[in-house]
A and B are shown apart, each in its own frame.
Chain A
Amino acid sequence: MSVKVDIEKRLGDFSLNINFEAADVVHGLLGASGCGKSMTLRCIAGVVTPDRGRIEVNGRVLFDSEQHINLTPQQRKVGLLFQNYALFPNMTVEGNLLAALRGQEHSTAQKKVAEMIRRFRLEGLERHRPNQLSGGQQQRLALARILLTEPEILMLDEPLSALDSYLRWQTELELMDLLDRFTGTTLLVTHSREEVRRLCDTVTVLDAGQGSGSMPVQSLFDAPETLSACLLSGCKNYSRAEKLADGRIRVPDWGAELTCSPIPAGLQYAAIRAHHITLADVSGENVIPCRVQRVIEDVFSTILMAQTPGGTPLRVELEQVNFALPQPGETLYLQLSPERLMLLK
């Protein structure tokens, strides 16, 4: 059970170029909005035709520009949950579900629909129209409708973004149950690193239409390879970096030289997460003297914005502060320990 995608698509100034493989996992496509995530799903579903490339699901070729294969969406047997759910507004809940089983014997279809209605807790809503349902119910209906077609892969386009924060967590828990039960490959498009972390096993990072390969979700957060992956994983501190001799690098934006190893070939940037920066008493190895610009109290932490000698401020997040908070203008010694530094291409 696998998905192999390697496609190119141009649309005006925008060009999408993505390749990845995923097998029997929940695979995330992570990227900022407008980066081509939804377009990728639409290409796989067949409602958009790529310019070049190949799409394969479970060994079945859905699209191959060289062999001139381009199956219709109807032939592809892939399930796509649209961001707005795309429920048929003129049909009832039951009608929407029965439509997915068109061509099957009526009594069998009725039985399957009744089971889905029970499984997705839509009892009593059979005669309602989609616009009479809550956001969560609409999503459950859309998912039920997709599962009735027994798709080989499941694709979810920002499944939680249309819901308010109160519903979102409940729906996310339900989604987890569903993904656990679904045996095929799932592709999940999102702009939220938290959702990737919680829901996905592997991930492809998309940056301005470019995305290549897949990596375990864990390594996106522990050891991202590129700056865009690093930024999408939520890291806010980065500087250009140059390799020096003896396991040292120069970080001009922070105005410092740091020790770290091993230094990858093609090093371009160094980054460190805000909560990985620690406070040191005095200047020393990997310690940058900074001037406090701002002290911000967040819900469960304190954020310091500190001006580096290089000009780019560092964001420092301190979870529990059991000392007097520094005041703006004071000098702080920030320690960027070698094992916490992320070296990026």
Chain B
Amino acid sequence: MDLYPLYNALRIAAISCVIVFFLGIFFAHWVAKLPRVLKGILDVVLTLPLVLPPTVVGYYLLLAFGPNRAFGAWMMSAFHVRLTMVWYSAVFASVVVAFPLMYRTARGAFESFDPTLRDSAQTLGLSNSYIFWRIQMPYCRQGILAGTVLAFARALGEYGATSMIAGYTPGRTATISTTVYQLWRTNNDALAFKWVLINVAISFVVLMAVNLLEKRERREAR
């Protein structure tokens, strides 16, 4: 059994997760400070990928990154970098699709942050970046952690946009989800079932880890 789809899916999910982690936190932090009208509009725009069908996301990504499109063509001519139908194309898809999950959970977590903690830290002379990373982030870690795990799980399971922008090339762009579909399409039920089990196992382990982390945290807090 070729384990490339497992390796490829994990690396795509991991890279996407890291990108989405910082992007989501950045936007959650930034949007919260905007005036109300702008906040409302941006909030809708940033959440849109959550409700759009992944194929629509894939379509837009192809519009931007396709080798015959403006950005894709420029990347090709300037850097000889191809943005579609390579393994990292799936990272673009996963990032866009998983981003709203991280953004929304992080925003909810930041909104629950007690603002007097920031105020008191400021009057104690602590810098704003220290307050953010050492007080606000630990305070909001439950929500941040939940958002990160959701984003990772979503990136791991991403299929629609991925199949459009990265396609399915065995040994190159294949991920677990595209492999399962391909195997089922070619009547290779036994192997498809194995991949399904692997996917379930990964998800199980991830969620289990989160629960354990939370439990330990509650014990420490007591």
Contact = CB atoms under 8 A, between A and B. Distances in A.
Interface in B167-183: none
Interface in B102-148: 114, 116-127, 130, 134-135, 138-139
Contact of B119 (A45, A79, A99, A149): A45
A149 B125 contact: yes
Contacts of B135: 88, 90
B120 A149 contact: no
Given A82-B119, A86-B120, A88-B117, A74 B139 contact: no
Interface string A36-59: 000000100111000000000000
A77 B122 CA distance: 10
B111 to A, nearest CB: 17
A341 interface: no
Contacts of B114: 84, 86
B221 A76 contact: no
Max chain A C-beta neighbours (<10 A), residue from B119, B124, B130? B124
A73 interface: yes
B125 A100 contact: yes
Contacts, number: 61
A99 B221 contact: no
Contacts of B124: 99-100, 145-146, 149
A78 interface: yes
A89 interface: yes
Max chain A C-beta neighbours (<10 A), residue from B114, B118, B125? B125
A129 B221 contact: yes
Contacts of A90: 135, 138-139
A89 B137 CA distance: 12
Contact of B116 (A86, A99, A131): A86
Nearest to B115: A47
A5 interface: no
Contact of B127 (A74, A78, A86, A131): A74
A80 interface: yes
Contacts of B130: 102
Report the contact-size class of chain A (Cβ under 8 Å from the partner): 20 to 34
Report the contact-size class of chain B (Cβ under 8 Å from the partner): 20 to 34
A72 interface: yes
B123 A79 contact: yes
Contacts of A88: 117, 121, 135
A122 B120 CA distance: 21
Nearest to B127: A74
A131 B122 CA distance: 21
A80 B125 contact: no
A193 B135 CA distance: 36
B112 to A, nearest CB: 12
Nearest to B120: A86
Contact of B122 (A72, A89, A129): A72
A73 B128 CA distance: 11
A46 B121 CA distance: 12
Nearest to A155: B123
A227 B123 CA distance: 36
Contacts of B134: 99
Nearest to A157: B116
A76 B123 contact: yes
Nearest to A89: B139
A82 B116 contact: yes
Given A88-B135, A90-B138, A47 B119 contact: yes
Interface string A103-123: 000000000000000000000
Contacts of B222: 132
Nearest to A83: B116
A77 B126 CA distance: 11
Nearest to A79: B123
A12 to B, nearest CB: 14
Contacts of B125: 74, 77, 100, 102, 149
Contacts of B126: 74, 99, 102
Contact of A86 (B119, B138, B221): B119
Nearest to B130: A102
A72 B135 CA distance: 19
Nearest to B116: A86
A99 B123 CA distance: 12
8 contacts: A42-B119, A47-B122, A73-B119, A76-B123, A77-B125, A88-B117, A88-B135, A90-B138
Interface of B: 114, 116-127, 130, 134-135, 138-139, 221-222
Q: Which 5 A-B pairs have the closest CB atoms?
A: A86-B120, A73-B122, A90-B138, A47-B119, A86-B116
Given A73-B119, A74-B126, A88-B121, 17 more contacts: A47-B119, A47-B123, A73-B122, A76-B123, A80-B120, A84-B116, A86-B117, A88-B117, A89-B139, A90-B139, A99-B126, A100-B124, A102-B126, A102-B130, A129-B221, A131-B221, A145-B124
